[in-house]
Amino acid sequence: MNQLDQFQVIGHISPVSVGSGVTASVSEVIDSAGFHGGRMIVMFQTGAMARTTSTCIMEESDDGSTWSEFMNATDRDADGNTGTKPDANSDNSDVVFDVALDPDRKRYFRLTYTTGSEGGKLNNLIACSAILLGRRVGQEVTSSKGTKRAGSKLYQAKGKQ
Amino acid sequence: MNHHDQYKVIGHIAPGAISASSTASVSSVIDTFGYGGGRLIITISLGSIGQPAIKCFVQESDDNSTFTTFVGATDTDVDGESGVQVTADDDNTEIVFDIPLIGARKRYFIVNYSSGSGGGKSNVMVHAIIVGKQIGVAQSTSDLTQRTGSKAYRATNV
């Protein structure tokens, strides 16, 4: 990456324990404004899992209000294999959605995750963050440009002096 | 980004509730082999935080055994402001470490996050993404992720 490359990190679903039949709350819709021609990597991470998953899909919207699904964990993965939803055996693994931000795609994105409704089981520990990669020439890097949620902080490592 | 750009996602600290005086367990060390000249972006995502952090920093190593600290939450951030440790008021925020993989940096990285001995548990998760160029590397799930059992999907455009 050269000095004109930019990124923005979006905390999408905060680390949370999701109970029976519950949809994980999204704390920030992913707004890709300014990253046209770039790439969005959505990183869904599982911790301790006890339940099945009933929904694990990516949706997009032109207005942040009306949503349509365009990717699903049951789609074919990057290896060409039929995908599967995370289940009780999917502890400590990642589901990655790689989305090219070309003209086919809309501006807003979200991941909808819902657990199964079977009873008597522990909850699923999950979290999701996204990173937008692209070029915004002349864009200064600040915490508010590099992150989205209020109160977030960005640190840049310095090389050895 | 052009078609030679590559990335890899590493689930580093799985989503979990960290108890008082505990250190979050690292499930995969971040190995940046092959990404020299690229960039490592580490995201610490905070959910409900019940107690302050006493450690929140990134360490590096040449041999994946002896680690040294080089950037942390109490350093000056990119806005030029003095950094602070995570507190119980930091629910639903991010801490991002942006690390150019230049000659000064070592190969292996870990995040060390420890909770204080105060009240309830803290929900924390850490993801890392390495971005760089590895010409000719196939884009399979094992290239794009690190932990066993992970899956990568690519959107098919209309």
Tokens of B84: 């602070």
Please check whether residue B145 touches A, CB under 8 A: yes
Distance from CA of B134 to the nearest CA of A (A): 12
Structure confidence at residue A69 (pLDDT): 96
Identify the pLDDT of residue A138: 61
Q: Who among A78, A141, A152 is closest to B154 (CB)?
A: A78
pLDDT recorded at residue A2: 40
> Chain-wide mean pLDDT for chain B?
88
User: In one letter, which amino acid is A66?
Assistant: T
Q: Is B15 on the interface with A (CB under 8 A)?
A: yes
pLDDT 10s digits, B92-102: 999 999 999 98
Phi, psi of A3 (to 5 degrees): -70, -10
Which residues 93-122 on chain A approach chain B with CB closer than 8 angstroms? 93-100, 102, 104-105
Q: pLDDT-based confidence at B136, cuts 50/70/90? A: low
Alpha carbons B22 and A11: distance in angstroms, whole number: 23
Q: Which residue has the higher pLDDT, B143 or A33?
A: A33
Write the DSSP string, A66-80.
S-EEEEETTSB-TTS
Nearest-Cα residue of chain B relative to residue A157: B99
Q: How far is B101 from chain A (nearest CA, A)?
A: 9
B155 and A146 within 8 Å at the Cβ level: the answer is no
Would you state the structure tokens that stand for residue A109, as one six-digit string? 């994105």
Using DSSP, how many helices (H) and how many strands (E) does chain A show?
1, 9
E strands, chain B, in order:
5-18, 30-31, 39-49, 53-61, 68-72, 94-100, 108-115, 122-133, 151-154
Q: Of A8-17, B40-49, B129-138, which range is least confident?
A: B129-138
* Cα angle A37, A42, A48; round to 5: 175
CA distance B117 to chain A (A): 20
Ranked by mean pLDDT, the top range of A140-149, A152-161, B62-71, B73-82 is B62-71
> Residue B144, SS3?
helix
Question: Which of A57-66, B12-21, B66-75, B117-126 shows the lowest mean pLDDT across its residues?
Answer: B117-126
Which of B45, B71, B79 lies nearest to residue A129, judging by beta carbons?
B45
Closest alpha carbon to A151 in B70, B72, B88, B121 = B88
How far is the C-alpha of B108 from the C-alpha of B63, rounded, in Å?
7
Q: What is the number of other CB atoms lying within 10 angstroms of the CB of residue A27? A: 19
Structure tokens at B5: 């750009």
**Angstrom distance (rounded) from CA A22 to CA A16:** 11
Domains within chain B, CATH numbers bracketed:
5-144 (2.60.120)
Does A27 contact B155 at a Cβ distance shorter than 8 Å? Answer: no
pLDDT value of position B135: 66
Q: Whose CA is closest to A53, among A93, A81, A12?
A: A93
| Residue B154 banded pLDDT, cuts 50, 70, 90 | confident
pTM for this structure? 0.90
> In chain A, which residues have their Cβ closer than 8 Å to the Cβ of B58?
157
Average pLDDT per block of 10 residues along chain A, 161 residues long: 67 95 94 89 95 96 96 91 93 93 93 95 95 75 78 75 37
Nearest CA in chain B to A59: B155
Residues of A in contact with B95 (CB under 8 A): 152-153, 155
Residue among A84, A66, A67, A64 at smallest CA distance from A75: A84
Q: Average of pLDDT values for B70-95?
A: 92
The domain ranges of chain A are: 5-146
* CATH of the domain spanning A5-146: 2.60.120
List phi, psi (to 5°) of A87.
-130, -165
Q: Which B residues in the span 80-99 are in contact with A, Cβ-Cβ below 8 Å?
A: 83, 90-99
Residue B157: its pLDDT value, please?
Answer: 63
Tell me the ipTM for this assembly. 0.88
Tokens representing B62? 């040449």
Residues sharing a CB contact under 8 Å with residue A130, sequence separation 6 or more, in sequence order:
A9, A10, A12, A30, A40, A41, A42, A43, A109
* Nearest Cα to Cα of residue A36 among A6, A69, A68, A13: A6
Q: Is the pLDDT of residue B1 over 50?
A: no
Helix, strand or coil, per DSSP, at residue A94: strand
Q: Is the pLDDT of residue B21 over 50?
A: yes
Q: What is the pLDDT, as a whole number, of residue B56? A: 95
